[in-house]
Amino acid sequence: MKLRLGPVLACLLFAPSFAAYAEDKPPAAADLLFESQQLANTKPGEELDYSYSQKSADPAKYGPAFDDKIKLSIEDAGKASDERNVRVEMFSAERHKAAGPFEGMTGNPVLSLFLENNIQQLSNLLHANPRYLKNAIRRALRDAPSAPDQIDGQKQAWRVEVAPFKDDPQKDRMNGLETLTYVFRVAPDLPGAVYEIDISARDAAGAVLIEEKLHYDGKKS
């Protein structure tokens, strides 16, 4: 039986079409992030490791800075060759969050888990409806292009950058976080495809107000 995803995670995932994209034509962000077979280059028994960091200009206001890890354990789904079961260890000790396991996956769950965590934090900080925040991010990604990127050792890589709240009608209530920018870096041939996600808001002088970052650290067999 497949896992029933949480409401934020389920709505962020798009119906899969797994369209291939040509090297000379940047894919749409939605195709790249949510409709591609990101786990195709993983094998059962492998472990994908990601480093996570959070920092802010005002820990009392935005929460304390910390570094942690997210680990994905790849398992055989026993079905189609492009599907994987994925067990997740999201953060450690007192920060540990329940996540998964995910069955029959083709996309990398770390992307949506990271976005879901971000939306929950924003909702708490701004006392905002998470559905409103989710829809703003979803609209921005749906309409966004991608651009070629360079990631060491990868023959093909893409970058997606969006600022979902810059023109939001409620931005005056976001206490400076309307400047939030979401940057995704993806390499289709990388195990799990997701290389880096950087979410940050800056003040008028360019100083970081809050930043949340995920980075691929490699795989273990």
Predicted pLDDT at 50: 97
Percent of the chain at pLDDT > 90 equals 64
* pLDDT tens-digit readout, 57-94: 999 888 889 999 999 999 998 876 789 999 999 999 88
Which token pair is 56?
A: 């802010």
Predicted pLDDT at 24: 59
Confidence band for 11, pLDDT divided at 50, 70 and 90: very low
Please write down the long-range contacts of 202-210, taking CB distance under 8 Å and 24 or more positions apart.
203/57, 203/176, 203/179, 207/57, 208/55, 208/56, 208/57, 209/56, 209/57, 209/58, 209/62, 209/176, 209/177, 209/179, 210/54, 210/55, 210/56, 210/57, 210/62, 210/177
Q: What is the mean pLDDT of residues 166-184?
A: 91
Which token pair is 187?
A: 């390499």
Give 148's strand partners: 158
* pLDDT tens-digit readout, 149-158: 999 989 999 9
Question: Edge-to-edge, what's the strand order for the sheet holding 158-162?
Answer: 102-105, 84-90, 66-76, 47-56, 208-220, 194-202, 181-186, 158-162, 147-148
